Structure 1
Amino acid sequence: MFEINAIFRKLTGKGSNRRLRLNKKIPAVIYGKKKKNLNIELNHDYIKKIEIKKKFYIKYIILNINKKKLKVKVQNIQWHQFKLKIMHIDFLML
């Protein structure tokens, strides 16, 4: 099980996501059945380090967002086409 710190993000769209990536952040979204989608940002270097482990994809993850803990599972990760860079992550709320 992993614990990851995240921050809510208010701005969405191509321009704000590009600015996040330039600052070594990953835009991400959390969604679930009958739940409102939550837009968050994560630290790219930390995620890249723990993403290598198989448990990251199989087990659930605890996201710490503004002193709130959410139990999620990785649904999808979008990678850059030729750089080893994560572009976006989708989480499924459990």
Structure 2
Amino acid sequence: MQIEISAQKRTLQGKGASRRLRGSGKVPGVVYGGENPAQAIELDHNNLYHQLKLEAFHASILTMDVEGQKEPVLLRDIQMHPFKLQVLHIDFQRVDPNKKIHMKVPLHFINAEISPGVKLSGGIVSHVLTELDVSCLPKDLPEFITVDLADLAAGHTLHLSDLKMPEGVEIPALLKGENLPVATIVIPRSVAAEEAAAVVSAAEIPTTVQKKEGVAKEGEKKDAGKKEAGKKK
């Protein structure tokens, strides 16, 4: 998915200039990295705010158009107003196509509804991670990583080593020996309580039958004793 951002060069800087810029519906920002010096920029707030709602905007190579000059960039930092729906500042980093980048990409979970832990055991999928830090060349950067839960059973956990990664994409955590959990199946207390009650009930049935049989046999013995006593008389 190709996303392009339009921006203009920003000449006036400082808190006062940034405040006036925001008041006019603009967002101050900066583009840095690469061989060129950092460039202060300004962007239209409404357009930027709608683009920030796109998942791909946060995990894709973006095309930055600064007054007709285009270059690939990554979104690196956003500063939001504490309580208003307003972007206060935004940072972008230039991308070198020949150098690996580190980026957090979202995880998309599929087939949870057909996994044994959900379908057979009534469990609920617990997402331990919702995004993953990856390392790759810019051309190999995926918009998301698919996590297939089709074989996940109750009480089992899916780890980083279980993920199928796109070609050219690495997980830095695994290279450090950190095989972190990604997702697991949790059995709700209500379901566990019902299963426990069913087991207890099933275990009590033979005991009850034995007690009834024992009572019946005892009654038969008493009747036989009474008959013998009647004969002796």
Q: Report the TM-score, using the length of structure 1 for normalisation.
A: 0.95
Identify which of structures 1 and 2 has the higher relative contact order when contacts are C-alpha pairs closer than 8 Å and 6+ apart.
1
Aligned equivalents of 2:10 and 2:36: distance in 1? 17
Give the match for residue 79 of structure 1.
80
1:1-94 matches, cutoff 5 A: 1-94=2-95
Provide structure 1 residue ranges, at least 5 long, that are not aligned to the other structure. Answer: none
Q: Deviations over 1:50-71 (max 9, x none)?
A: 1101100100111111210011
How many residues are paired up?
Answer: 94
Q: Deviations over 1:9-38 (max 9, x none)?
A: 111110110111001100000110453110
Aligned equivalents of 1:74 and 1:81: distance in 2? 20
Specify which structure has the higher proportion of helix: 2
Q: Report the TM-score, using the length of structure 2 for normalisation.
A: 0.39
Aligned equivalents of 1:48 and 1:81: distance in 2? 15
Counterpart of 2:84 in structure 1: which amino acid?
K
16-25 or 29-38: bigger deviation: 29-38
Aligned equivalents of 2:22 and 2:88: distance in 1? 8
The runs of at least 4 consecutive aligned structure 1 residues that moved more than 6 Å come to none
Counterpart of 2:78 in structure 1: which amino acid?
I
SS of residue in 2 equivalent to 1:89: strand
RMSD: 1.0
SS of residue in 2 equivalent to 1:56: helix
Provide structure 2 residue ranges, at least 5 long, that are not aligned to the other structure. Answer: 96-233
34-43 or 50-59: bigger deviation: 34-43
Counterpart of 1:22 in structure 2: which amino acid?
G
Counterpart of 1:26 in structure 2: which amino acid?
V
Aligned equivalents of 2:48 and 2:67: distance in 1? 18
Counterpart of 1:64 in structure 2: which amino acid?
D
Counterpart of 1:19 in structure 2: which amino acid?
R
Aligned equivalents of 2:35 and 2:73: distance in 1? 15
